[in-house]
A = this chain, B = another copy of it.
Amino acid sequence: MERIAEGEYAVMEVLWERSPLTAAEVAERVPEQRGWSLATVKTMLSRLLAKGVLAHEEDGRRYLYRPAIRREDYVAEESGRLLDRMFGGRLTPFVAHLAERDRLTPADIEEIETLLKALKS
C-alpha cells in the first residue's frame, strides 16, 4: 500500500467519514484550518487516485470519489510502522512511555485494564 502524505490524509478522512462524494463536496468538508482552495483538493484527489487508495465512478461529467482502502488497514500499517521504528515493535515500552509523559490519566488506565481483561477471556 502506498504511503499517504499528511495533507492527503485529511482528504481520506473526509471520504472515510462519508462517501462517495464529488470533489466540491470533499472540499467543503475538509477542515477549514487547512485553508485549501478547491484546486488544491482536486490535486489531492488526483494524487490519491494515482496512488490507488481512492477509486472514482463517473456521474455524468464529474466523478464521485470513494476510498479504495479501509481506514483500519491504513491505520494498522501506519501505527505498526511507528511502533517498529520507535519501540522495536513492542507495545509495552510504548505504553510505559506514554504513561511517563502524562498522557495516561487514571481514567485511561482503568479503561485499558478493562479492555485487557476482556481480551483475556
Contact = CB atoms under 8 A, between A and B. Distances in A.
Interface stretch (A44-52, A58-66, A93-101): A93-101
A116 interface: yes
A85 B103 CA distance: 15
B95 A95 contact: yes
A99 B79 CA distance: 12
A98 B83 CA distance: 10
A80 interface: yes
Contact of A80 (B76, B92, B103, B120): B103
A68 interface: no
Q: How large is the interface on A (under 10, 10 to 19, 20 to 34, 35 or more residues)?
A: 35 or more
Interface in A59-117: 72, 75-76, 78-80, 82-83, 85-87, 90-92, 94-101, 103-104, 106, 108-109, 111-113, 115-116
A97 B9 CA distance: 19
A82 B85 contact: no
